[in-house]
Amino acid sequence: MVSRRSLIKAGAAIGVGSVLGAPTFGQTLEVKQSTGPLMKTRGQVDRSASLPTNAQRNSKHYRPKYRMGLGGLAAGNGFNTISSDEEILAMLNAAWDSGIRHFDTSPFYGLSLSERRFGDLLRNKNRDEYVLSSKVGRLLTPSAEPLENSWHWANHSPFHYHYDYSASGTRRSIEDTLHRIGVASLDIVYIHDLSPQNSDMGEDWVKYFDDAAKGAIPELTKMRDEGIIKAWGFGINTPHAVAKSLEISDPDIFLLALQYSILDHQQALDETFPMLDKRDMSVVVGAPLNGGFLAGRNRFNYSPKIPDPMMQKFIQMSEVANKHGIDIKTAALQFAEAPETVSAIIPGARTKEQIETNVAAMKVKIPEDFWVELKSKGLIAEHAPTPS
């Protein structure tokens, strides 16, 4: 694992000492845990360009129109970083003003805090103008006591949670979400966190999956057929539930976090994406910046422990990006959005400045030679799609 001291030394080695701005030589890499932008967008930004959308197509399975979205984990005070309601609302307004129209949240994020904060913006907007997704699998119950042993959320709402993948629990969860956000409908509902990586579950995730197979899956299929929601799928951090769900059901879409990024994408390209392509199903990519690591955070995939191979890739890719006049975050966001299987990416943000830099990153023209060099050095898969 790589320590913060190693990060600083690594930055000095490649000459990108300040990830807060354009790389400068002779300085050290300063990785901060505070809020705010960690890496400014480099390269030629076409301010007149629109954010990418999906072309209309005849498909059995729903695809969201807007390819650039916003994840709601940070709005729930994720990673125990406290943001005020005012700061999050300013971020959300910046997202809307920049053209973002795809919003993803969850009851789990801040134990309802993210949903409520998203509602501060979205309840006042025309419901037909944006895509909204949330999740089911955890029901919240009021409690005067803070949730113990929660590394996830700082100053979360006064609730505890328990897992419930039953039909009645699924319907109640959706109704609770609609009340918290203050809207009449959801576009996408994801069955959340059915994965052995979920520390609450471990190997018991299969038992919970069986509960969902009997309850949540048929209920969401019924709600889709009734027109109450447009689509349903799974929001998961490992691919285990993908293949298992395709054996027994017909989901529309998958939210895959931590599974497709410029640093780590081989399994998704070789196994998961082909499975979905055969069924014309799409993927929303969560955490395209590996939990903030590719934007300069001192964490990787929600953990402060940074695997050495990932750190080495980061250093090498940063060298190539610097050579071609761009930054690695810009490359990472555009890389994650490039595959046809991907219908959207949803990087998170907690400040309006982070929104501005993420949106700018999607409007940079990345030199083709940059991608050629990454492939020639084995830093990304030879068959990985890259932005055209």
Report the catalytic residues.
104, 109, 135
Check the CA dihedral 217-264-72-93 and report its sign. Answer: negative
Q: How far apart are CA 37 and CA 32, in angstroms?
A: 10
Q: Return the structure tokens found at 294.
A: 């590719």
For residues 71, 250, 342 and 47, what is the CA-based torsion angle, rounded to 10 degrees?
Answer: -60
Residue whose tokens read 């640093």: 263
Cβ(123)–Cβ(176) under 8 Å? no
Radius of gyration of the chain measured on its C-alpha atoms: 20
Instruction: Enumerate residues 6+ apart whose C-beta is below 8 A from 235.
Output: 106, 135, 190, 191, 192, 193, 254, 255, 257, 286
Check the CA dihedral 162-165-168-170 and report its sign. Answer: positive
Which amino acid type is present at position 86?
Answer: E
Q: How far apart are CA 294 and CA 43, in angstroms?
A: 17
Report how far apart, in Å, the C-alpha atoms of 280 and of each of 233, 251, 315 are.
13, 11, 36
- Listing DSSP states for 312-361 in one string gives HHHHHHHHHHHHTT--HHHHHHHHHH-STTEEEEE-B-SSHHHHHHHHHH
Q: How far apart are CA 301 and CA 293, in angstroms?
A: 8
Q: Return the structure tokens found at 34.
A: 């505070």
Q: Return the structure tokens found at 325.
A: 């006049």
Phi/psi region, residue 182 (left: phi>0; alpha: psi -120 to 50; beta: rest), is left
For residues 315, 318, 322 and 325, what is the CA-based torsion angle, rounded to 10 degrees?
Answer: 180
Check the CA dihedral 83-87-89-90 and report its sign. Answer: negative
